[in-house]
């Protein structure tokens, strides 16, 4: 396959149809002009979650002045966090607005997540998605809803109402198919009511490296020939999702939706930093390059990719090799349904823990600054 050379690896990926989003958000990055510079280099979007905000607020003084503002001081710790997060997302969305406008709404999105405590609550997720959509008030924001079974109806209804949705915490092809169907159903419902679909956007965030972490742990416990499959499941699983994407977003059903103005719901590769030091530090970027996709990347991994990543298409419409790999994983004794359920449960728990830690950090900061909540 041909290797692409341009001024930045992000631009090279764009030439192959893949957008890079930054899995990071911090106020100083926006205010210093660093984010605008990254956009000029080819960055096309940004994602956030409770863990990212925990790191940003706990690890900097960027937000100390905000905590002292009267309208923030009057809020509870949880409401103060949300107000600050909404401000960050609004500012970042304004930086990306040029991308959004120049691509006619195809790119340039910033994501903010509903509370992880609502991951098993359909109506709660929908209500919070509606509220955050109104609060941020930007056409290029995406509301993140976990792709749990309970989340599927909320995702479909929110999309039907015209809210941009980033479906997060997807680990299985089965769950990916469900949220892709939710998008197609929502677009069909809008078309039937003669509502526009050209500016309703959605991505399906399919997690990658965590799959290898969990499968490898189980393979090592099995030992023997099973260890020959170490490090192979994550990319194979993602490639099967990409194959299904190609099937769902083609054919008569999709053609009718597309002709009404809708865009595909792009797969977004998440959790693409390498967790195992035995593996290449950019393997989950190099291994998942293809048209109509996004890779959301932490700053450190993006820098490594700019330094020595190889840009060439590695995703193809058919994934026969990936299917063979997943059959081998199953034959070795790995219950992959249990793997993906475990990862979903752990992902929700991780974000809940991060949110609790974040609220503790905020309470401590406000106390130290002498601006403790009056609420």
Cα–Cα dist 160/49, whole Å? 24
**CA distance to 43, 115, 257, per residue, from 108 (Å):** 8, 23, 22
Q: In terms of DSSP bridges, do strands 293-297 and 45-47 run parallel, antiparallel, or are they unpaired?
A: unpaired
Element (H, E) at 107: none
State both tokens at 47.
């994602």
Q: Minimal CA–CA distance to 309: which of 292, 295, 291, 293?
A: 295
Residues linked to residue 286 through DSSP beta bridges, in sequence order: none
Element at 20 (helix H, strand E): strand 18-23
* Secondary structure of residue 214 in the 3-state scheme: helix
Of all helices (H) and strands (E), which one includes residue 207?
A: strand 202-207
Choosing from 9, 75, 144, 239, which is the catalytic residue? 144
Contacts of 248-254 spanning 24+ positions with Cβ under 8 A: 248/177, 248/180, 248/181, 248/184, 249/180, 249/292, 253/184, 254/184
Q: Exposure of 102 by Cβ count < 10 A (0-12 exposed, 13-18 middle, 19+ buried)?
A: exposed
Dist. CA 207–CA 223, nearest whole Å: 25
Q: Which of 176, 184, 297 is nearest to 240 (CA)?
A: 176
Of 253, 265, 283, 155, residue with least CA distance to 204? 265
Q: Is residue 144 flagged as an active site residue?
A: yes
Angle between helices 336-369 and 173-192 (to 10 degrees): 80
Instruction: Give the residue numbers marked as catalytic.
Output: 144
């Amino acid at each position: 396959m041909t290797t692409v050379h341009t001024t930045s690896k992000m631009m090279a990926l764009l030439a192959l149809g893949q957008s890079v989003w930054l899995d990071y958000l911090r106020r100083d990055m926006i205010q210093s002009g660093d984010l605008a510079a990254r956009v000029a280099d080819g960055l096309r979007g940004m994602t956030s979650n409770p863990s990212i905000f925990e790191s940003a607020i706990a690890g900097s003084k960027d937000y100390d002045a905000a905590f002292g503002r009267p309208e923030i001081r009057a809020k509870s710790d949880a409401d103060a966090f949300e107000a600050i997060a909404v401000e960050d997302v609004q500012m970042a969305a304004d930086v990306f607005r040029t991308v959004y406008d120049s691509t006619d709404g195809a790119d340039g999105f910033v994501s903010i997540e509903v509370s992880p405590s609502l991951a098993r609550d359909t109506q709660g997720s929908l209500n919070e998605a509606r509220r955050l959509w109104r609060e941020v008030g930007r056409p290029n924001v995406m509301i993140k809803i976990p792709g749990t079974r309970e989340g599927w109806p909320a995702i479909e209804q929110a999309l039907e109402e015209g809210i941009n949705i980033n479906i997060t915490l997807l680990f299985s092809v089965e769950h990916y198919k469900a949220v892709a169907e939710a998008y197609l159903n929502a677009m069909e419902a809008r078309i039937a009511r003669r509502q526009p679909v050209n500016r309703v956007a959605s991505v399906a965030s399919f997690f990658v490296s965590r799959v290898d972490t969990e499968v490898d742990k189980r393979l090592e416990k099995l030992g023997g020939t099973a260890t020959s499959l170490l490090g192979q499941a994550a990319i194979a699983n993602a490639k099967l999702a990409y194959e299904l994407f190609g099937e769902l977003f083609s054919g008569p059903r999709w053609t009718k939706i597309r002709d009404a103005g809708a865009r595909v719901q792009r797969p977004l590769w998440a959790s693409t930093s390498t967790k195992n030091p035995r593996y290449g530090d950019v393997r989950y970027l190099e291994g998942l390059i293809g048209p109509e996709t996004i890779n959301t990347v932490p700053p450190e991994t993006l820098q490594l990719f700019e330094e020595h990543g190889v840009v060439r298409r590695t995703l193809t419409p058919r994934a026969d090799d990936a299917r063979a790999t997943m059959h081998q994983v199953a034959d070795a004794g790995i219950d992959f349904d249990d793997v993906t359920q475990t990862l979903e449960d752990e992902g929700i728990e991780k974000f809940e823990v991060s949110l609790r830690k974040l609220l503790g950090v905020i309470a401590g900061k406000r106390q130290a600054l002498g601006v403790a909540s009056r609420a």
